[in-house]
Structure 1
Amino acid sequence: MRVALILLASLLAMPAAALDLSPTTLQLPVEGGRTELWLYNPGPGHWQGQVRVLAWEQQVDAERLRPTGQILASPIQLDLAPGIRQRVWLLPGRPEPVAGEQAYRIVLEPSRAGLPRYSLPLFRGQAAPQAQPRVQARLDADASQPLLRLNNAGPLHARLHDLVFVAEDGQRTLLLPGLAGYLLAGHERRWALPPRPNGYHGGRFQAHLQDGRQVELTAPDPAIAAGAPSGL
């Protein structure tokens, strides 16, 4: 009995399985086609759950996910023992007109508490070969703390990495290291910024996009944040 209790305690103490996922960003053509997501469970625990496909919409201060039938996943139910590799197909569902790039989230929902939950972006759309995100930046003048408002007027999403502020004297400050977030095509979001002793007057913002390029986040007003209150 004592041995059984010790064995049970050791099993309960084992860490939850964490899946390896590839790729971490998915792309689906507009016309037909399918794409695949590979899952691998390196162990030591078991991972069970289901695949959910949700339409992804953005508001200025929120992300909205809702059920959709435009993208289907197969299989839906997952049962991965340690050392098991599983492929999940993602393919078009019911035919509906697609205007511009559409965004979705592939959610891997565990069946029990303690297992990790995953959410991966999937984009469906086909723009011109030279199409790029077009991101404009400005500070929110009515905010009680520094807020950077970004608008993507381009036909493709922007995945922003390593957001940098460049002051008038050329000094560079890394504001958001790593993945700052996604900005969907035709949408606007706000990012909270850390306070700076001299605020953000007279400078400019830069970030890396998904293709590795560092770009200027252009501002409609060349003197970005020139009209911001002194508290920013």
Structure 2
Amino acid sequence: MRALLTLLALLLALPAAALELMPTTLQLPAQGGRAELWLHNPGPGRWQGQVQVLAWDQHLDAEQLQPSDRIRVSPARLDLAPGSTQRVWLLPAEPAAAVGEQAYRIVLAPALAGLPRYSLPLFRGPAATPLHARLQGRVETQASQPALRLSNAGTLHGRLHDLRFITADGQSTLLTAGLAGYILAGHERRWPLPARADGYAGGRFQARLQDGSEVDLAAADPAIAASAPGGL
């Protein structure tokens, strides 16, 4: 009996594996509609927690998140046993059409320390269309630290993957592998850059879009603009 209790205690103490989430970016129509998030717990442990909705704003060098009641969640509390799957509904609290694109973060906050925490973007507004993110970029230097500053004058958010710098002679350096970050509509963001002997002079920056295509973002000269195709 003691051995059985010890085995049971060890099984209960196993950490939860990472939840499988689908999709990883959520979209709500501008008017009405709903979105669904599917969660699967492959085990070995149980994942318990709650779903939080945070309004998402950006400053030049920081993200700002505040609790919001404009998106309703069902269920708000989660208890996923190993091997179980759960669907979470996300519905706008207001049926009227949103003005512009609204940005949120959907946070899966664990009840117990040690369980993984998740944060997913949710956008309410038109899906990716020819009305795309419009980006302008330039290189800045502050206290000897170079940075890429991008502004989004478009009506939709921008999403950057695999940010790289390409020199005038075509040599490519990967600066950020995978997701580099988001730029919300009407906002600016700044990415610190590793120092280079050439100061990023004479080259250009490039990123991959969610559809797999690539776009030039900015050259090292100030205020050189690039307009990204739909879906960035």
Code of the aligned partner of 2:138: R
Aligned to 2:229: none
Q: Deviations over 1:81-138 (max 9, x none)?
A: 0111100000011356622111000000000001000000000012783111111111
Aligned to 1:119: 119
Quote the RMSD (CA, aligned, Å).
2.2
Structure 1 SS opposite 2:83: coil
Tell me the distance in 1 between the aligned counterparts of 2:87 and 2:8.
Answer: 32
Tell me the distance in 2 between the aligned counterparts of 1:210 and 1:80.
Answer: 30
Aligned to 1:203: 203
Aligned to 1:17: 17
Aligned to 2:173: 173
User: Which residue among 218, 223, 231 is the counterpart of 2:221?
Assistant: 223
Shift of 1:151: 0.8
Q: Which has the higher strand share?
A: 2
- Residues 109, 117 of structure 2: 8 Å contact kept: yes
- Residues 40, 83 of structure 1: 8 Å contact kept: yes
Tell me the distance in 2 between the aligned counterparts of 1:46 and 1:214.
Answer: 40
Tell me the distance in 2 between the aligned counterparts of 1:11 and 1:127.
Answer: 44
- Number of aligned positions between the proteins: 224
Query: Aligned ranges for residues 90-129 of structure 1 at < 5 Å?
Result: 90-94=90-94, 98-126=98-126, 129=129
Q: TM-score, normalised by structure 1?
A: 0.89
Tell me the distance in 2 between the aligned counterparts of 1:141 and 1:161.
Answer: 23
Code of the aligned partner of 1:135: L
Quick one: structure 1 residues 143 and 157, their matched pair in 2 at CA, closer, same or farther if it must change by over 3 Å? Answer: farther
Of 139-148 and 57-66, deviating more is: 139-148
- Residue identity (%): 67
Quick one: structure 1 residues 106 and 165, their matched pair in 2 at CA, closer, same or farther if it must change by over 3 Å? Answer: same
- Residues 158, 185 of structure 1: 8 Å contact kept: yes
Shift of 1:17: 3.1
Quick one: structure 1 residues 141 and 197, their matched pair in 2 at CA, closer, same or farther if it must change by over 3 Å? Answer: closer
- Residues 137, 149 of structure 2: 8 Å contact kept: yes
